Chain A
Amino acid sequence: MSEAIRIETPLTQDKVKGLKAGDNVLISGVIYTGRDAAHKKMVEALEQGADLPFAMKDQIIYFVGPTPAKEGQVIGSAGPTTSGRMDVYSPKLIAEGLTGMIGKGLRSTEVIEAMKKHGAVYFGAIGGAGALIAKRIVSAEVIAYPELGPEAVRRLVVKDFPIIVIIDHEGNNLYDLGKEQYNSPKNCIK
């Protein structure tokens, strides 16, 4: 496991260019949450020329719908959801200046092409590690679409939030690189 790279948000282009697929990153600062329903609303807002809940430029969206917070908790369990469901929306937000996405799982060619064209990074958080990840979230506040409940857009402040670069701005993809490295016949589990 390589030494973690510490990054502060906003995720500006110079920081985007310095990240490679497979890099271990600890991110700190403000990030925003959004899932399918919020993405649909944001893209509709864009098409109608209405305001977005936050300016996309140099920002990161975390694909998450947390559990309700218990008393004394900042947020409930908060691991990533499957990113592929955001594939139809992400290119439009990347074109608006979004530079980072955090989720889990495969992305479409259209998303990867938009990332290469505009300069953006796709990070993976550990799916199913919701209780652990929640400990790195310092504050959480709903800023848009409260009617969506767990799918509302939240502004999170995170500290040393652990993520891995899955797809970098050149389109290098850890899912392909990792698989190639371990799918040879000699890697039989027995």
Chain B
Amino acid sequence: MKELFVEEIISEVEKLCIEANYDLGSDIMTGFHQALKVERSPLGVEVLERLIENAEIAHQERVPMCQDTGMAVFFVEIGQDLHVVGGSLTEAINEGVRRGYDKGYLRKSVVKDPFERVNTGDNTPAVIHYDIVPGDSLHLVVAPKGFGSENMGGLKLCKPSEGLEGAMQFVVDTVERAGGNPCPPIIVGVGVGGTMEKATFLAKKSLLREVGNHNPDGRLAKIEEELLDRVNRLGIGPQGFGGITTALAVNLEVYPTHIAGMPVAVNIGCHATRHKEITLQGRGIK
């Protein structure tokens, strides 16, 4: 058994929230540069160039790349032999969000009640997904999620008879319906199988994968390639102004499901799909 103090978690969460919003991942930057080599639409090229410039300004001047600094989504893996000391882990994560969004001059975009819609003023609460794993460390991933893209996702509880083609068509249709709204070039997260909530969770979690990395299962990697090809033939292009770069990646995750069903979830990430992570090691108890 090892232990970890909440103060350390709070200060790391604070830093992660700020860095995620200021520093675009190098995988997406590489994706922009590769897209520039193939994009044929002059407006599309212009958009890609400005997105690269924008990410450079955000990084150098320490400002958010986008004004929608998102709802803070966390994926937390807690070792079963780790003891969190000094307070609640959930409250520590929320306190880190509170401090990061304040000190980093990030926008507070969370309302307390979906109907009353009064801003909580500090971007809490975060959405936190916990997983208990072997070991004695804490792995934290923060993925601030903007809602221009979040609003364009979808879920279809497909019949098994619709098969792979039915699932793929739903993904393509969802991207087509989204058009320029989710700020293309997008990352398309797809979760298939499990139950309704498992599929949506997988779709969201797949957005954490680096652009350019395929599912390690070769069969699924081929499906990702075909989906990316079909999505980029829609012609939506950067910002929806027309072009062949609608998505930088399609990430597919699957899970065993019930004999009667095939849930298919699509979670769209914008070109500023942000995520930063850290592993905190517990200390020996004296």
Contact = CB atoms under 8 A, between A and B. Distances in A.
Interface of A: 1, 22, 24, 37, 64-70, 73, 76-79, 81-82, 84, 104-106, 124, 126-135, 149-150, 162, 164, 174-175, 177-185, 187-190
Given A76-B64, A181-B242, A105 B179 contact: yes
A79 B50 contact: no
Interface string B144-155: 001110010000
Given A1-B43, A124-B180, A76 B239 contact: no
Contacts of B181: 82, 84, 104-106
Contacts of A178: 41, 43, 235-237, 240-243
Given A76-B63, A79-B66, A150 B108 contact: yes
A65 B67 CA distance: 7
A132 B57 contact: yes
Contact of A82 (B45, B151, B233, B237): B151
A182 B63 CA distance: 34
Contact of A78 (B61, B67, B151, B244): B67
B106 A67 contact: yes
A187 B236 CA distance: 12
A162 B183 CA distance: 16
Nearest to B60: A131
B98 interface: no
Contacts of B244: 182, 187-189
A131 B65 contact: yes
B68 interface: yes
9 contacts: A68-B107, A104-B148, A104-B180, A105-B180, A129-B53, A150-B107, A180-B235, A183-B235, A189-B232
A102 B236 CA distance: 19
B235 A181 contact: yes
B234 A179 contact: yes
B270 interface: yes
Contacts of A183: 233-235
Contact of B67 (A64, A175, A185): A64
A178 B45 CA distance: 13
Contacts of B180: 104-106, 124, 127, 175
A130 B105 CA distance: 13
A132 to B, nearest CB: 4
B58 interface: yes
